[in-house]
Structure 1
Amino acid sequence: MTASSRAHSFNAAADQYAASRPSYPPALFTSVEQFTSRSLAGSRVADVGAGTGIATALLRAHGADVIGVEPGDAMAAQFHTALPDVPIVRGDGNALPLADASLDLITYAQSWQWTDTARSVPEALRVLRPGGSLAIWWNTTAFDVPWIREQHQRIACHCGVKPTSRERPDDSDAIRLAGLSGLRVARRQVRWSRTVSLDMHLANIGSRSAFLVLAEEDKRAFLREERGRLREMFPNEEVEEAYVVDLLVASRP
């Protein structure tokens, strides 16, 4: 299964993605402001790979003048439903449909991995103003929580992908960004959690790209078994999900 197929698989589950995917903690946006030395309020921002607008809505709530960039039809439709007054344009990070030197900040929430850095970094440099920044982040697995680590391994095995044992990105991502672009790179990890129903937890699993490309029966079989395991751990069917947001901010002179 190609990376492109996985990237576009979200369109088949846009409703599920919007309803079940986790948000981001306030401390993340405080860190972005600290690393960029700029308030989000009044900043011109593009949220690339915006999906259904989860990060975009939070950027707007912090006062940013934000635009979404999203390649997927169904994801863009969900974005427009959730944020009807926020502009969204079709495109991706490898060829941003944005003017030169027009932005203070470009953000990638859960979406940088779908880009070709040999193209997306120069595109970011083209679009950013002097002193502008590129912020990349992921909600990553809290591997120190045993049941979450074990579930991560089961999902990876079922989906035929290699399980990881670390947060993402690692230091090489920061070095590569700096080396490609000459940018100043800072990194921070922010831990947070949310409590959701068992149904929402399973829907979140089912909205992941490696899972979406599986055959329907394969998905249903795994989720049936996982529901049984989790009911034993969480008999009230309320699941506390723990995350570590991994943030990289690269700022240009």
Structure 2
Amino acid sequence: MTAPTHTDRAHSFNTAAAQYAANRPSYPPALLDTVEELTGRPLHGTRVADIGAGTGIATALLEARGADVIAVEPGTGMAAEFRRALPDVPLIRGDGNHLPLTDASVDLLTYAQSWHWTDPARSIPEALRVLRPGGALALWWNTDALDIPWIAEAARRQERHFAIDVEAEKKLGTHADVADPEGRLRFTHRRLRWTRRVPVDTHLANLGSHSIFLTDTEERRTAYLTAERHHLLRVFPDGIVEETYDVDLLLATT
């Protein structure tokens, strides 16, 4: 099997948007508390653009905080799921490399699980163009807590199956020099740990909604998830999986 390209992986979510919306984890309240702390202003009334909004998981949290939020999403399937979930939130089709926003029009740009699909050589100048003076760029990712033994073992199984480096993928959310190779912004990094307890079926559907699974063959994907169910039920015999995440937040002000 030919390895999927970055573009293949970026577009794969549109085929599984409903699965993504139903099973992906959200984010803890402490994340937006930290965004407010680092920006020095409440989200209530702040003009926010959520870029690569997907099915609206982060957008919904921003709206609930009282932000004046607009969403930008390139994918047809993801945008359709977003509109079902958040029909009253403005949604524009576009991506982080070519923001469909006017100059100096927003106070905060957020990228939840989406900055790594952009090209920083283009997305950073675009962010600086649309942010107002004193505005902020916030990037965050839910990453697996690899110091938890069962999660580390699951990561090793993924590495063997997909021939990937899980630790390297996690660096997307922890290293400012990966997010901004040219060093144009001064990012502050914060890490917040949280957990959720979900049925094993939800955990497996969450796994299956990641691009590395979506771009695999159906036969290999099914075989992997079937075997993974057996591994998980040995650790969680009651069928309830305790997922532990580190939310890695990078925030820079202009």
The Cα shift of 1:155 comes to 1.6
Structure 1 Cα separation of the partners of residues 75 and 170 of structure 2: 27
- The residue identity in structure 2 corresponding to 1:248 is L
Structure 1 Cα separation of the partners of residues 197 and 127 of structure 2: 36
Structure 2 Cα separation of the partners of residues 177 and 84 of structure 1: 33
Is the alpha carbon distance of 1:170 and 1:77 closer, same or farther for their aligned partners in structure 2, counting shifts above 3 Å? closer
RMSD: 1.6
Structure 1 Cα separation of the partners of residues 177 and 164 of structure 2: 24
Counterpart in the other structure of 1:28: 31
Q: Deviations over 1:107-153 (max 9, x none)?
A: 00000000000000000000000000000000011011010011012
The normalised TM-score by structure 1 is 0.95
| 8 A Cα contact 2:49 2:109, kept in partner | yes
Identify which of 186, 189, 192 aligns with 1:187: 189
Counterpart in the other structure of 1:63: 66
Please list, as runs of the form range in 1=range in 2, the aligned pairs for 1:90-105 lying within 5 A after superposition. 90-105=93-108
Q: Does 1:18 align with 2:21?
A: yes
The Cα shift of 1:170 comes to 6.4
Q: Does 1:108 align with 2:107?
A: no
Q: Which stretch shows the higher mean deviation, 220-229 or 154-163?
A: 154-163
The normalised TM-score by structure 2 is 0.95
The Cα shift of 1:160 comes to 2.8
1:79 partner SS: helix
Structure 2 Cα separation of the partners of residues 133 and 202 of structure 1: 35
Unaligned runs of 5+ in 1: none
Q: Does 1:233 align with 2:212?
A: no
Identify which of 185, 193, 216 aligns with 1:214: 216
Q: Does 1:50 align with 2:53?
A: yes
Please list, as runs of the form range in 1=range in 2, the aligned pairs for 1:59-138 lying within 5 A after superposition. 59-138=62-141
Structure 2 Cα separation of the partners of residues 115 and 180 of structure 1: 16
Counterpart in the other structure of 1:248: 250
Is the alpha carbon distance of 1:176 and 1:76 closer, same or farther for their aligned partners in structure 2, counting shifts above 3 Å? closer
The Cα shift of 1:39 comes to 0.8
- The residue identity in structure 2 corresponding to 1:11 is N
- The residue identity in structure 2 corresponding to 1:111 is S
| 8 A Cα contact 1:41 1:63, kept in partner | yes
Structure 1 Cα separation of the partners of residues 173 and 75 of structure 2: 28
